Amino acid sequence: MLSIIVPVLNEARNIPVLHDEIRAVMNVIGKEHEIIFIDDGSEDDTLETIKNLGSRHVRYISFSRNFGKESAIIAGLGKARGEAAVIMDGDLQHPPSMIAEMNAHFEAGYDQVIAKRNRSGEPLMKRIPANLFYRVMNSTSTVRLVDGEGDFRLISRKVVDAILLLSENNRFSKGIFEWVGFGKKVVEFNHVGRTNGKSGFNPFKLFDYAVDGISAYNHRPLRICFHLGLVVLLISLAYILYIFVNILIYGVDEPGYFTIIASLLLLGSVQLFSLGIIGEYVGRIYIETKNRPNFIITEESDSEPLEKDDLH
């Protein structure tokens, strides 16, 4: 059986279409399946729409508020009963037709089949920051992320269980998928624009997401700020020595307003930068020690077993 996991935030208009498309594809593949919708604190009638689908293949989880797509994915994986799970967006930007190809590679023995999106159709406003993020992420981190390889993927039961074992509070799924390893296969699809509803991510949310990703996987940024501090210290020492020697040879120079301001600003900014990075990690430790759950469920579909003849 295949579990299809769809985190949804205000997607009432997309859900019926998505559901029909998934059902059509699954009928062609002829495999038993369940579609798990995770309502991530929607404010429209997303939950009602899910219930109204009235399909035995549909199961759902409803969060008490918006906990984020990452938490929704983890909740869905926890509920999944399939031998493999497909994670996909609920806004029709991840074409359900890809599931057939992904399933074929899974049956050929791959544990992770990644549907990679090419960004060609996307606006520059989104491509440039995305590019920057992948550069910073990959140069500071031990896990390698590839642009376009997002959450749209099929993972085997082995990978699902491995991911559920990680008990971190901050779950940056893109990184976790890479971190757990296993045999990977990449298939490509073209970027599809959103037709209904609007993106749940604004620039601020995306920036936070990027910082989460970068700091969740390594301590290298801490090391970078240490290096930076060291370099600035050496430069300052050399400069002080230079002035000192100058004074010894030529006598006291004119009071240098510029140099004082410059060094003040430089040192101040390096200190703030370093403090910020340290703060990022301290905050992370704080959150982890509280050991709060990733999400709170208000409502959930019952988990009746599927019936064989329900596949039509």
Which residue's CB is nearer to ligand UDP, number 118 or number 271? Answer: 118
From Mg ion, ligand UDP, none, interface partner of 94 (C-beta below 5 to 8 A by class): none
What is the rounded distance in angstroms from the CA atom of residue 302 to the CA atom of residue 77?
A: 16
* Interface residues toward ligand UDP, by CB under 6 A: 7-9, 11, 40, 66, 68-69, 72, 89-91, 93, 199-201
In the complex, what is the shortest distance from the CB of residue 53 to ligand UDP, in angstroms, rounded to a whole number? Answer: 16
In the complex, what is the shortest distance from the CB of residue 237 to ligand UDP, in angstroms, rounded to a whole number? Answer: 47
- C-beta separation of 32 from 17 below 8 A: no
Cβ neighbours around 139 below 10 Å, total: 10
- C-beta separation of 37 from 140 below 8 A: no
* Interface residues toward Mg ion, by CB under 5 A: 91, 93
In the complex, what is the shortest distance from the CB of residue 144 to ligand UDP, in angstroms, rounded to a whole number? Answer: 21
**Strand 184-190 to strand 112-118: parallel, antiparallel, or no bridges (unpaired)?**
parallel
What is the rounded distance in angstroms from the CA atom of residue 254 to the CA atom of residue 267?
A: 22
- C-beta separation of 135 from 143 below 8 A: no
In the complex, what is the shortest distance from the CB of residue 51 to ligand UDP, in angstroms, rounded to a whole number? Answer: 17
From ligand UDP, Mg ion, none, interface partner of 40 (C-beta below 5 to 8 A by class): ligand UDP
In the complex, what is the shortest distance from the CB of residue 202 to ligand UDP, in angstroms, rounded to a whole number? Answer: 9
Which residue's CB is nearer to ligand UDP, number 40 or number 149? Answer: 40
Retrieve residue 232's tokens. 């600035």
Radius of gyration, CA atoms only, the chain: 25
From Mg ion, ligand UDP, none, interface partner of 3 (C-beta below 5 to 8 A by class): none
Which residue's CB is nearer to ligand UDP, number 11 or number 149? Answer: 11
Measured at CB, which residue is nearest to ligand UDP?
Answer: 200
Cβ neighbours of residue 289 under 8 Å, at least 6 residues apart? Answer: none
